[in-house]
Structure 1
Amino acid sequence: MTTADSQTLPRLHDYEVLGRVLSVLCSTPGPLAECLGFRLWPRLHKDGGYVLSWHGHPSMHEVTDYLCAAAADDEMTADLRPGDIQLHRERTAVIVRGVQFNLQPEPMPSPESYLALGEFWRTGALPRKTIDS
């Protein structure tokens, strides 16, 4: 059985790495600084880690390339160093200092998809069915 105290130190490391990764990716001129619909949530897996998701541009390959370039260039950032980043599963996941980050870019919703939702996407109201007599 684990207690909250036994989980503290590994989680502190995870949060530190999360802060480093987000400061590199989300600060200007990072690739996710101006992306749409950026979301972050913890992975529900025994190994922990996080999922980073966004809509549209940039691709996950551009994000991993930027992270690798930032780690290799001391003038770009001091948050990451060479050797901190390992690419995993054909670049869909990045392991930074032992913490896994899954990268999930999602396609932009089209205007047609918003039209198909009708009023629901703005008000949450479901369409009423009429009873034919």
Structure 2
Amino acid sequence: MSDFAVVVGAGSFRSEATGTVRFPHRWTTEGVTVESDFTGAHLLHLAAAGCVLNDVYREAAALSVPIDGVRVTAAGGFDTDSWASTGITYTVELDSPAPPPDREALLTRVDEVAEIPRAIRAGAPVARR
């Protein structure tokens, strides 16, 4: 199995699709939308996508980059014998009047600092108590 795609959106990229879940969001007045199935694989990808979306807003504020909307899509596969992730890829769509170099600097910074992608890249032990 592969893909397990999720989409999170805010601002001008909020989804109106049927079945979309909406959540309040500290950086947007209308909140965020989530398009995802509810499986473990999807939730792992949702954690990465949601973190990236949040950090776009946080880092944009720090860099004074105006943001009208953000959409993050994350997907990846799993080895169905071991259920080990084969990796996660994500894309960011950014609605901003900022010049392209400023938008690219923002997305580079987010990729460096986003906590969940960093934790996944580093690996972490998970144990039942």
**TM superposition score category, shorter chain reference:** 0.3 to 0.5
Query: As a proportion of its length, which structure holds more strand?
Result: 2
Calculate the TM-score normalised by the size of structure 2.
Answer: 0.37
Calculate the TM-score normalised by the size of structure 1.
Answer: 0.36
Say which one has the larger Rg: 1
Structure ranking higher on relative contact order (CA contacts 8 Å, 6+ apart): 2
